[in-house]
Structure 1
Amino acid sequence: MRKYSAVLFDLDGTILENEDVYGKAFAAVFNKHKIPPLDSEYPHTPGIGMEANWKALKEKYDELRDVSVVQLVHETQGEYHDRMRDVVIRPGFFEFHQALIDEGVVVALATSNDWWLVEDELDDLDLHRYFETITTGEEVYERKPAPDIFILTARKIHAEPEECIVVEDSPAGVKAGKEAGMKVVVIRNSHNDKDDFSNADLVVEGFYDLNPQVLDSLC
């Protein structure tokens, strides 16, 4: 008998190839506030959401001292929204999703971003129907790397943590999944190739490396 009953997916960088788009959105806001060009392609920390990113960045840059986190988040959301045409679904997701459904596995989404932005992404890419439930950052007290979002998602689908497998792409997401008491699979991408995922249960290069039987081996 299968020991897991649900797979909880992260969205950005996991299902969607969009961290480059986020990087450009953050960079555009930096430019707007006259902050010198950044050395890093990714001025943000993937996986923790815009609010947590800007709280940390405000402490680092004096130019942002008088700008509220709310304003910075709003500006970044707008810049990202303007670039959503560049967001694509990662190869192999639909095949993996269908394989899970064929085996009776519940598929859910757990993302740190706010609903209004997630809704636009899901609408544009016709992804709503692929998830039994969707949990977004404003539904929980603490976003990733806290485990709250995965714990809440499991409750929504009436699954115990040990019955859930998380699919992630960021250290924050891995930490959240493990602290929730779940197995965690990491999918490599263009922005996380240097991250340490030694605490994950499995690291793969893409969705084509995954199927229900591979997940069986984790439980």
Structure 2
Amino acid sequence: MRQTHSENPLWPPSFSAAIFDFDDTLALTHDLWRQVDIAFLRSRGISYTPDVGRTLTMLGFAGGARWCIERYGLKDTVEEICDEWNSMGRALYATQVRLRQGAEEYLAALRSAGVPLALATTNDPDVLAAMKANVDVYGLFDAVVCAIEVGCGKDHPDIYLEAAKRISAKPGDCMVFEDLLQGICSAKRAGMKTCAVLSNNPLQDEREVVGASDCAIANWREALGTEK
């Protein structure tokens, strides 16, 4: 646990509502989306760079598609690009995605403590549904909010505010678990507490996300205090 005080604010929970990111927070998926990004760009004669990966992760499907069209002058429509990403993502998520060790136990502990849980993700509902056999996010959370529903990515606080609204929580009562710096900053702007979740993603600047958050964990056992 990386924090500025000795007590663990995550267990027992020092908050009355919790909002979670999915990709690289609850499940390590950065390699899967890197495969999707590389294949998508290569098919159009474009080289992948880490900065492209960071941008697409932050913007989500529709926002990322619009960015690609503007950046590279693509003739594809937003819908066509989203459909292509969806198709590739569904195939990978259906067989390869699992929750990080300790994540489900922490979610269950919060639920048992009466803490309402929301998922706030830039992922697409069809991709989330594809992994139901292995990870049923709609069964794990009281509310699931996708960026496509609020019309913007995690560079804006809208998705976190909508998640709080759906679980009838005030922003100041929420703890947001995120791996993205932009998401952490947006949640803070919404008046929420934040916990940075380290992911071993080479695109994540650990020093920046830890510095921007109220606390940070390297794995989910730390959240319950079962690993220091």
**TM-score by structure 2 length?**
0.82
Instruction: Report matched runs for 1:77-116 at 5 Å.
Output: 77-84=86-93, 85-116=95-126
Distance across 2 between alignment mates of 1:41 and 1:172 = 14
1:215 alignment counterpart? none
- In structure 1, runs of 5+ residues without a counterpart are 213-219
- Which of these residues, 24, 28, 50, is aligned with residue 13 of structure 1? 24
Q: 1:54 and 1:90 mapped to 2: Cα distance?
A: 28
Matches within 5 A, 1:162-201: 162-191=172-201, 192-195=203-206, 196-197=208-209, 198-201=211-214
Aligned residues: percent identity?
25
Is residue 36–residue 89 contact of structure 2 (8 Å, CA) maintained in 1?
A: yes
Q: Write the letter of the residue equivalent to 2:123.
A: N
Inter-CA distance 127–43: structure 2 relative to 1 (3 Å threshold): closer
Change (3 A) 1:47 1:92: farther
The correspondence for 1:202, drawn from 188, 198, 215, is 215
Structure 2: any 5+ residue segments left out of the alignment?
Answer: 1-11
In 2, the alpha carbon distance for the partners of 1:123 and 1:180 equals: 34
Corresponding letter in the other structure for 1:211: L
Aligned to 2:44: 33
- 8 Å CA contact retained: 2:198, 2:219: yes
After TM superposition, give the deviation of residue 3 of structure 1 in Å: 5.2
- Give, as a single letter, the amino acid of the residue that structure 1 aligns with 2:164: A
1:142 corresponds to? 152
Q: Quick one: distance in 2 between partners of 1:39 and 1:155?
A: 36
| Alignment check: 8 A CA contact 1:20 1:42 kept | no
Structure 1 residue 89: Cα displacement: 1.1
For the structure 1 residues 121 and 145, does the alpha-carbon distance in structure 2 shift closer, same or farther, using more than 3 Å as the test? farther
Cα distance change of structure 1 residues 51 and 2 upon mapping to structure 2, 3 Å threshold = closer
Which deviates more from structure 2 when the two are superposed, residues 149-158 or residues 137-146? 137-146
Q: Do structure 1's residue 49 and structure 2's residue 60 form an aligned pair? A: yes
C-alpha displacement at 1:76, in angstroms? 1.3
Task: Select between 19-28 and 80-89 the one with higher mean Cα deviation.
Answer: 80-89
RMSD: 2.4
SS at the partner of 2:58? Answer: coil
One-letter amino acid of the structure 2 residue matched with residue 111 of structure 1: T
